[in-house]
Amino acid sequence: MREFDFEQAVKKSLKRLREELQLYKMQYSTEFKTIENKSKQKPVELHQIRQLLTSPAEYILVYHIEDTGLVYAVPLTVFVELSPSNLRLYIRDLTFAPMPYYVYLNKEALEKISLPIAVVKPETVEKVVEDVEKTPHTSNIKPIDEFIKMVWKKYEQLVLASLLYNAIKQEELDS
Protein backbone atom coordinates (compact mmCIF):
# COMPACT_ATOMS: atom_id res chain seq x y z
CA MET A 1 0.00 0.00 0.00
CA ARG A 2 1.33 3.42 -0.99
CA GLU A 3 1.85 5.96 1.79
CA PHE A 4 -0.07 9.25 1.58
CA ASP A 5 2.24 12.14 0.73
CA PHE A 6 0.74 15.05 2.65
CA GLU A 7 3.29 17.59 1.42
CA GLN A 8 2.64 16.67 -2.21
CA ALA A 9 -1.14 16.93 -1.68
CA VAL A 10 -0.77 20.43 -0.19
CA LYS A 11 1.41 21.55 -3.11
CA LYS A 12 -1.16 20.27 -5.63
CA SER A 13 -3.98 21.97 -3.78
CA LEU A 14 -2.12 25.30 -3.63
CA LYS A 15 -1.30 25.06 -7.32
CA ARG A 16 -4.98 24.51 -8.12
CA LEU A 17 -5.96 27.51 -5.97
CA ARG A 18 -3.38 29.73 -7.69
CA GLU A 19 -4.68 28.65 -11.10
CA GLU A 20 -8.27 29.40 -10.06
CA LEU A 21 -7.25 32.83 -8.76
CA GLN A 22 -5.39 33.54 -12.00
CA LEU A 23 -8.52 32.67 -13.99
CA TYR A 24 -10.53 35.09 -11.84
CA LYS A 25 -7.90 37.83 -12.27
CA MET A 26 -7.90 37.43 -16.06
CA GLN A 27 -11.62 38.25 -16.15
CA TYR A 28 -11.64 40.78 -13.29
CA SER A 29 -13.22 44.19 -13.68
CA THR A 30 -14.72 46.57 -11.13
CA GLU A 31 -17.07 48.01 -13.78
CA PHE A 32 -20.77 47.15 -13.80
CA LYS A 33 -22.94 47.14 -16.92
CA THR A 34 -26.33 48.80 -16.53
CA ILE A 35 -29.78 47.97 -17.81
CA GLU A 36 -30.99 51.36 -19.02
CA ASN A 37 -34.37 50.18 -20.32
CA LYS A 38 -36.64 50.37 -17.23
CA SER A 39 -38.98 47.68 -18.65
CA LYS A 40 -36.10 45.15 -18.65
CA GLN A 41 -35.16 45.85 -15.03
CA LYS A 42 -36.53 43.26 -12.60
CA PRO A 43 -37.54 44.13 -9.02
CA VAL A 44 -35.37 43.06 -6.12
CA GLU A 45 -37.15 40.60 -3.82
CA LEU A 46 -36.30 38.64 -0.69
CA HIS A 47 -34.49 35.32 -1.13
CA GLN A 48 -33.46 36.08 -4.71
CA ILE A 49 -30.12 35.13 -6.12
CA ARG A 50 -29.18 37.91 -8.52
CA GLN A 51 -26.43 37.99 -11.09
CA LEU A 52 -24.54 41.26 -11.18
CA LEU A 53 -23.59 42.41 -14.65
CA THR A 54 -19.83 42.51 -14.24
CA SER A 55 -16.88 40.39 -15.26
CA PRO A 56 -16.58 37.77 -14.09
CA ALA A 57 -20.23 37.50 -13.10
CA GLU A 58 -20.82 38.03 -9.41
CA TYR A 59 -23.90 36.88 -7.54
CA ILE A 60 -25.69 37.94 -4.38
CA LEU A 61 -28.32 36.39 -2.16
CA VAL A 62 -30.84 38.98 -0.91
CA TYR A 63 -31.78 38.34 2.73
CA HIS A 64 -33.33 41.65 3.92
CA ILE A 65 -34.73 44.83 2.39
CA GLU A 66 -35.18 48.00 4.46
CA ASP A 67 -38.15 50.33 3.86
CA THR A 68 -35.62 52.91 2.64
CA GLY A 69 -34.54 50.54 -0.14
CA LEU A 70 -31.29 49.35 1.41
CA VAL A 71 -30.75 45.71 0.45
CA TYR A 72 -28.78 43.38 2.71
CA ALA A 73 -27.12 40.61 0.73
CA VAL A 74 -24.46 37.93 0.84
CA PRO A 75 -22.07 37.79 -2.11
CA LEU A 76 -21.89 34.35 -3.70
CA THR A 77 -19.12 33.04 -5.90
CA VAL A 78 -18.84 30.31 -8.50
CA PHE A 79 -15.11 30.19 -7.72
CA VAL A 80 -16.01 27.87 -4.86
CA GLU A 81 -12.49 26.62 -4.14
CA LEU A 82 -11.43 30.20 -3.37
CA SER A 83 -14.19 30.81 -0.82
CA PRO A 84 -13.26 30.11 2.80
CA SER A 85 -16.77 28.70 3.30
CA ASN A 86 -17.52 24.98 3.06
CA LEU A 87 -21.20 25.61 2.34
CA ARG A 88 -22.32 24.97 -1.24
CA LEU A 89 -25.53 26.00 -2.98
CA TYR A 90 -26.54 24.11 -6.10
CA ILE A 91 -28.82 26.18 -8.32
CA ARG A 92 -29.53 24.89 -11.81
CA ASP A 93 -26.15 24.09 -13.33
CA LEU A 94 -24.21 26.44 -11.03
CA THR A 95 -22.50 25.80 -7.71
CA PHE A 96 -22.12 28.75 -5.34
CA ALA A 97 -20.19 29.35 -2.15
CA PRO A 98 -20.89 32.35 0.10
CA MET A 99 -18.24 34.97 0.72
CA PRO A 100 -17.50 35.69 4.40
CA TYR A 101 -19.18 39.12 4.57
CA TYR A 102 -22.35 41.03 3.83
CA VAL A 103 -22.93 43.82 1.35
CA TYR A 104 -25.47 46.63 1.58
CA LEU A 105 -26.78 47.85 -1.75
CA ASN A 106 -29.29 50.41 -2.95
CA LYS A 107 -32.38 48.65 -4.35
CA GLU A 108 -32.79 50.98 -7.34
CA ALA A 109 -29.12 50.68 -8.29
CA LEU A 110 -29.27 46.91 -7.89
CA GLU A 111 -32.19 46.70 -10.30
CA LYS A 112 -30.05 48.52 -12.88
CA ILE A 113 -26.95 46.31 -12.55
CA SER A 114 -28.35 42.84 -11.90
CA LEU A 115 -30.96 40.29 -12.88
CA PRO A 116 -32.65 37.60 -10.78
CA ILE A 117 -31.68 34.03 -11.63
CA ALA A 118 -33.40 32.09 -8.83
CA VAL A 119 -35.35 32.27 -5.59
CA VAL A 120 -34.35 30.06 -2.67
CA LYS A 121 -36.22 28.84 0.40
CA PRO A 122 -36.05 30.88 3.63
CA GLU A 123 -34.24 27.94 5.29
CA THR A 124 -31.49 28.20 2.68
CA VAL A 125 -31.13 31.92 3.37
CA GLU A 126 -30.85 31.19 7.11
CA LYS A 127 -28.10 28.61 6.49
CA VAL A 128 -26.14 31.05 4.34
CA VAL A 129 -26.42 33.90 6.87
CA GLU A 130 -25.36 31.54 9.70
CA ASP A 131 -22.41 30.40 7.59
CA VAL A 132 -21.27 33.99 6.99
CA GLU A 133 -21.37 34.61 10.74
CA LYS A 134 -19.01 31.71 11.48
CA THR A 135 -16.66 31.85 8.48
CA PRO A 136 -13.39 33.75 8.99
CA HIS A 137 -13.06 36.99 7.00
CA THR A 138 -9.43 36.27 6.14
CA SER A 139 -7.36 33.21 5.32
CA ASN A 140 -3.80 32.09 5.95
CA ILE A 141 -3.87 30.59 2.47
CA LYS A 142 -2.63 33.40 0.24
CA PRO A 143 -4.76 32.76 -2.91
CA ILE A 144 -7.94 32.54 -0.82
CA ASP A 145 -7.11 35.69 1.15
CA GLU A 146 -6.31 37.58 -2.06
CA PHE A 147 -9.60 36.42 -3.60
CA ILE A 148 -11.62 37.55 -0.55
CA LYS A 149 -10.07 41.02 -0.87
CA MET A 150 -10.54 41.23 -4.65
CA VAL A 151 -14.24 40.37 -4.44
CA TRP A 152 -14.73 42.92 -1.64
CA LYS A 153 -12.95 45.57 -3.76
CA LYS A 154 -15.56 45.03 -6.47
CA TYR A 155 -18.38 45.84 -4.01
CA GLU A 156 -16.59 48.50 -1.95
CA GLN A 157 -17.64 51.67 -3.84
CA LEU A 158 -21.16 50.38 -4.43
CA VAL A 159 -21.63 49.61 -0.73
CA LEU A 160 -20.26 52.99 0.35
CA ALA A 161 -22.49 54.88 -2.09
CA SER A 162 -25.52 52.80 -1.05
CA LEU A 163 -24.95 53.44 2.66
CA LEU A 164 -24.50 57.19 2.11
CA TYR A 165 -27.61 57.36 -0.08
CA ASN A 166 -29.58 55.42 2.54
CA ALA A 167 -28.40 57.71 5.37
CA ILE A 168 -29.49 60.80 3.42
CA LYS A 169 -32.84 59.20 2.55
CA GLN A 170 -33.39 58.19 6.19
CA GLU A 171 -32.59 61.73 7.34
CA GLU A 172 -35.17 63.11 4.88
CA LEU A 173 -37.78 60.67 6.15
CA ASP A 174 -37.05 61.60 9.76
CA SER A 175 -37.39 65.36 9.10
pLDDT in tens, 13-55: 899 999 999 999 999 998 999 998 989 999 999 999 999 999 9
Determine how β-strand 58-65 pairs with β-strand 114-119: unpaired
Average pLDDT (66-78) is: 95
Percentage of residues of the chain with pLDDT beyond 70: 98
Higher pLDDT, 171 or 136: 136
Q: Are 74 and 132 in contact (CB under 8 A)?
A: yes
Helices (H), 28-141: 107-113, 122-134
Quote the pLDDT of residue 173: 80
Mean confidence (pLDDT) of the chain: 93
pTM over 0.85: yes
> pLDDT band for position 139 (50/70/90)?
very high
pLDDT at 145 over 90: yes
pLDDT at 1 over 70: no
Choose among 35, 33, 37: nearest CA to 112.
Answer: 35
Average pLDDT (154-166) is: 92
Q: What is the rounded CA–CA span in Å between residue 139 and residue 152?
A: 14
Q: Domain segments of the chain: what residues?
A: 6-174
